[in-house]
Protein backbone atom coordinates (compact mmCIF):
# COMPACT_ATOMS: atom_id res chain seq x y z
CA UNK A 1 0.00 0.00 0.00
CA UNK A 2 1.22 3.51 -0.81
CA UNK A 3 2.29 5.56 2.22
CA UNK A 4 0.50 8.60 0.72
CA UNK A 5 -3.17 8.47 -0.27
CA UNK A 6 -4.33 9.80 -3.66
CA UNK A 7 -6.08 12.93 -2.31
CA UNK A 8 -3.03 13.96 -0.27
CA UNK A 9 -0.86 13.44 -3.34
CA UNK A 10 -3.23 15.50 -5.56
CA UNK A 11 -3.58 18.30 -2.99
CA UNK A 12 0.20 18.59 -2.69
CA UNK A 13 0.53 18.74 -6.48
CA UNK A 14 -2.26 21.33 -6.72
CA UNK A 15 0.04 23.64 -4.74
CA UNK A 16 2.50 23.59 -7.64
CA UNK A 17 1.73 26.66 -9.80
CA UNK A 18 2.37 25.99 -13.46
CA UNK A 19 1.76 27.34 -16.91
CA UNK A 20 -0.73 25.66 -19.21
CA UNK A 21 0.07 24.22 -22.64
CA UNK A 22 -1.78 22.56 -25.47
CA UNK A 23 0.18 19.56 -26.68
CA UNK A 24 -0.54 18.60 -30.29
CA UNK A 25 0.55 16.30 -33.05
CA UNK A 26 -0.29 15.60 -36.68
CA UNK A 27 -0.26 12.10 -38.18
CA UNK A 28 -1.37 11.21 -41.71
CA UNK A 29 -3.55 14.31 -41.96
CA UNK A 30 -5.18 13.85 -38.54
CA UNK A 31 -4.47 16.26 -35.70
CA UNK A 32 -5.19 16.01 -31.98
CA UNK A 33 -4.43 18.07 -28.89
CA UNK A 34 -4.71 17.92 -25.11
CA UNK A 35 -4.24 20.43 -22.34
CA UNK A 36 -1.02 19.57 -20.55
CA UNK A 37 0.78 21.18 -17.62
CA UNK A 38 3.44 18.48 -17.32
CA UNK A 39 5.79 20.40 -19.59
CA UNK A 40 9.41 21.04 -18.70
CA UNK A 41 12.66 22.11 -20.19
CA UNK A 42 15.18 19.24 -20.13
CA UNK A 43 18.44 20.05 -21.92
CA UNK A 44 20.26 22.94 -23.61
CA UNK A 45 22.70 20.79 -25.61
CA UNK A 46 20.88 19.30 -27.40
CA UNK A 47 17.72 21.39 -27.05
CA UNK A 48 15.25 19.07 -25.34
CA UNK A 49 11.89 19.47 -23.61
CA UNK A 50 9.55 16.89 -22.12
CA UNK A 51 5.83 16.35 -21.68
CA UNK A 52 3.91 13.57 -19.91
CA UNK A 53 0.99 11.88 -21.70
CA UNK A 54 -1.57 9.72 -19.93
CA UNK A 55 -1.66 6.10 -21.09
CA UNK A 56 -4.61 5.47 -23.38
CA UNK A 57 -4.80 9.05 -24.66
CA UNK A 58 -4.84 9.41 -28.47
CA UNK A 59 -1.48 11.19 -28.23
CA UNK A 60 0.16 8.17 -26.59
CA UNK A 61 -0.38 6.36 -29.91
CA UNK A 62 -0.11 9.30 -32.31
CA UNK A 63 3.12 10.93 -31.07
CA UNK A 64 5.30 7.80 -31.51
CA UNK A 65 3.62 7.22 -34.89
CA UNK A 66 4.19 10.77 -36.16
CA UNK A 67 7.56 11.27 -34.48
CA UNK A 68 6.76 14.89 -33.64
CA UNK A 69 4.76 17.16 -31.34
CA UNK A 70 4.22 20.85 -30.66
CA UNK A 71 3.73 22.65 -27.36
CA UNK A 72 1.63 25.85 -27.39
CA UNK A 73 2.12 27.82 -24.16
CA UNK A 74 -1.23 29.47 -23.46
CA UNK A 75 -1.61 33.18 -22.74
CA UNK A 76 -3.87 34.99 -20.31
CA UNK A 77 -7.44 34.83 -21.59
CA UNK A 78 -7.06 31.42 -23.22
CA UNK A 79 -8.90 29.60 -20.38
CA UNK A 80 -11.59 28.47 -22.86
CA UNK A 81 -8.93 26.80 -25.02
CA UNK A 82 -7.46 25.04 -21.98
CA UNK A 83 -10.92 23.86 -20.91
CA UNK A 84 -11.72 22.57 -24.40
CA UNK A 85 -8.55 20.51 -24.77
CA UNK A 86 -9.08 18.96 -21.34
CA UNK A 87 -12.40 17.38 -22.44
CA UNK A 88 -12.32 13.57 -22.67
CA UNK A 89 -13.82 11.63 -25.52
CA UNK A 90 -12.75 13.88 -28.41
CA UNK A 91 -11.38 12.31 -31.58
CA UNK A 92 -8.57 13.27 -33.96
CA UNK A 93 -9.67 15.09 -37.11
CA UNK A 94 -8.35 17.12 -40.05
CA UNK A 95 -8.44 20.36 -38.01
CA UNK A 96 -7.88 21.23 -34.36
CA UNK A 97 -11.55 21.37 -33.34
CA UNK A 98 -12.12 24.66 -35.20
CA UNK A 99 -9.48 26.66 -33.32
CA UNK A 100 -7.16 28.94 -35.31
CA UNK A 101 -3.74 27.32 -35.73
CA UNK A 102 -0.54 27.70 -37.68
CA UNK A 103 2.50 25.49 -38.24
CA UNK A 104 6.23 25.98 -37.82
CA UNK A 105 8.74 23.24 -38.84
CA UNK A 106 7.04 19.89 -38.23
CA UNK A 107 3.49 20.54 -39.45
CA UNK A 108 2.00 20.05 -35.98
CA UNK A 109 -0.74 22.61 -35.28
CA UNK A 110 0.17 25.49 -32.96
CA UNK A 111 -2.61 27.42 -31.23
CA UNK A 112 -2.88 31.01 -32.48
CA UNK A 113 -2.53 33.64 -29.74
CA UNK A 114 -0.29 31.46 -27.54
CA UNK A 115 2.45 33.31 -25.66
CA UNK A 116 5.07 30.88 -27.00
CA UNK A 117 5.49 27.59 -28.81
CA UNK A 118 8.05 24.83 -29.13
CA UNK A 119 7.93 22.61 -32.21
CA UNK A 120 9.63 19.26 -31.63
CA UNK A 121 10.83 16.11 -33.29
CA UNK A 122 10.37 13.11 -31.01
CA UNK A 123 13.64 12.09 -29.36
CA UNK A 124 12.40 9.28 -27.09
CA UNK A 125 9.40 7.92 -25.22
CA UNK A 126 10.04 6.71 -21.68
CA UNK A 127 7.53 4.81 -19.51
CA UNK A 128 6.37 6.67 -16.42
CA UNK A 129 3.75 4.77 -14.45
CA UNK A 130 0.31 5.54 -15.88
CA UNK A 131 1.85 8.14 -18.23
CA UNK A 132 4.59 8.12 -20.85
CA UNK A 133 7.26 10.81 -20.96
CA UNK A 134 7.82 12.18 -24.46
CA UNK A 135 11.18 13.87 -25.01
CA UNK A 136 11.26 16.35 -27.86
CA UNK A 137 14.18 17.85 -29.78
CA UNK A 138 13.24 21.48 -30.40
CA UNK A 139 13.36 22.43 -34.09
CA UNK A 140 11.19 25.55 -33.95
CA UNK A 141 10.31 28.06 -31.25
CA UNK A 142 8.95 31.57 -30.80
CA UNK A 143 7.57 33.77 -28.03
CA UNK A 144 5.57 36.98 -27.78
CA UNK A 145 7.03 39.44 -25.24
CA UNK A 146 3.79 41.46 -25.21
CA UNK A 147 1.67 38.64 -23.77
CA UNK A 148 1.36 37.24 -20.24
CA UNK A 149 0.97 33.53 -19.38
CA UNK A 150 -2.10 31.62 -18.28
CA UNK A 151 -1.31 30.06 -14.88
CA UNK A 152 -2.88 27.02 -13.19
CA UNK A 153 -2.88 26.77 -9.39
CA UNK A 154 -5.16 24.87 -6.95
CA UNK A 155 -7.37 23.65 -9.80
CA UNK A 156 -8.08 27.18 -11.11
CA UNK A 157 -6.75 29.65 -13.67
CA UNK A 158 -4.83 32.73 -12.65
CA UNK A 159 -2.82 35.55 -14.14
CA UNK A 160 0.56 36.72 -12.95
CA UNK A 161 -0.93 39.23 -10.45
C1 LIG B 1 -4.61 22.13 -16.28
C2 LIG B 1 -4.61 20.75 -16.86
C3 LIG B 1 -3.40 20.11 -17.06
C4 LIG B 1 -3.34 18.82 -17.62
N5 LIG B 1 -2.13 18.24 -17.83
C6 LIG B 1 -2.06 17.02 -18.41
C7 LIG B 1 -0.80 16.43 -18.72
O8 LIG B 1 0.25 17.00 -18.44
N9 LIG B 1 -0.79 15.22 -19.34
C10 LIG B 1 -1.95 14.56 -19.65
O11 LIG B 1 -1.88 13.45 -20.21
N12 LIG B 1 -3.16 15.08 -19.37
C13 LIG B 1 -3.24 16.31 -18.78
N14 LIG B 1 -4.45 16.87 -18.52
C15 LIG B 1 -5.67 16.11 -18.84
C16 LIG B 1 -5.93 16.08 -20.35
O17 LIG B 1 -6.05 17.39 -20.89
C18 LIG B 1 -7.21 15.27 -20.63
O19 LIG B 1 -7.11 14.03 -20.00
C20 LIG B 1 -7.41 15.01 -22.07
O21 LIG B 1 -7.63 16.19 -22.82
C22 LIG B 1 -8.62 14.12 -22.25
O23 LIG B 1 -8.62 13.66 -23.57
P24 LIG B 1 -8.60 12.11 -23.91
O25 LIG B 1 -10.04 11.67 -23.84
O26 LIG B 1 -8.05 12.06 -25.27
O27 LIG B 1 -7.74 11.45 -22.86
C28 LIG B 1 -4.54 18.15 -17.97
C29 LIG B 1 -5.77 18.80 -17.77
C30 LIG B 1 -5.80 20.07 -17.23
C31 LIG B 1 -7.14 20.78 -17.02
Closest among 27, 21, 22, 23 to 107, alpha carbons compared: 27
Confidence (pTM):
0.97
Residue located nearest, by CA, to atom 23 of ligand 1: 88
Residue located nearest, by CA, to atom 13 of ligand 1: 36
Expressed in angstroms and rounded, the spacing between residue 34 Cα and the centre of ligand 1 is 6
Residue 113 counted as domain residue: yes
Residue 88 CA: nearest ligand 1 atom is: 25
Expressed in angstroms and rounded, the spacing between residue 45 Cα and the centre of ligand 1 is 29
Domain carrying residue 24: 20-155
Please compute the mean of the pLDDT values over residues 48-55 and round it to a whole number. 98
pLDDT, mean over the chain: 97
Residue 103 counted as domain residue: yes
Residue located nearest, by CA, to atom 4 of ligand 1: 36
- The 3-class SS string of the chain reads CCCCCHHHHHHHHHCCCEECEEEEEEECCEEEEEEECCEEEEECCCCEEEEEEECCCHHHHHHHHHCEEEEEECECCCHHHHHHCCCCCCCCECCCCCCCEECCCCCCCEECCCCEEEEEEEEEEEEECCEEEEEEEEEEEEECCCCCECEEECCEEECCC
Q: State yes or no: pLDDT of 161 exceeds 90.
A: no
CA distance 35 to 61: 16
How many Cα atoms sit within 13 Å of 115 on the Cβ side? 17
Q: Which residues line ligand 1 (CB under 6 A)?
A: 20, 34-38, 52-54, 57-58, 85-86, 88-90, 152
Q: Residue 58 belongs to a domain with what CATH number?
A: 2.30.110.10
Residue 70 counted as domain residue: yes
The tally of domains found in the chain comes to 1
Closest among 134, 144, 130, 124 to 24, alpha carbons compared: 134
Residue 83 CA: nearest ligand 1 atom is: 31
Residue 143 counted as domain residue: yes
Instruction: Write the pLDDT tens digit of every residue in 78-88.
Output: 999 999 999 99
Residue 93 counted as domain residue: yes
Residue 6 counted as domain residue: no
Do residues 68 and 120 make contact, with C-beta atoms less than 8 angstroms apart? yes
pLDDT (0 to 100) of residue 105 = 98
pLDDT (0 to 100) of residue 2 = 84
Proportion of the chain above pLDDT 70, given as a percent: 100
Expressed in angstroms and rounded, the spacing between residue 89 Cα and the centre of ligand 1 is 11
pLDDT (0 to 100) of residue 4 = 96
Residue 2 counted as domain residue: no
Instruction: Write the pLDDT tens digit of every residue in 99-152.
Output: 999 999 999 999 999 999 999 999 999 999 999 999 999 999 999 999 999 999
Amino acid sequence: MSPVDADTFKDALASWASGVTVLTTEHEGQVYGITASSFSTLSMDPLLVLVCIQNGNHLERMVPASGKFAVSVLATGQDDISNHFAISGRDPGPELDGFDTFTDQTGCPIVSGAIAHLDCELEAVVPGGDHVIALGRVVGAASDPDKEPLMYFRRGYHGLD
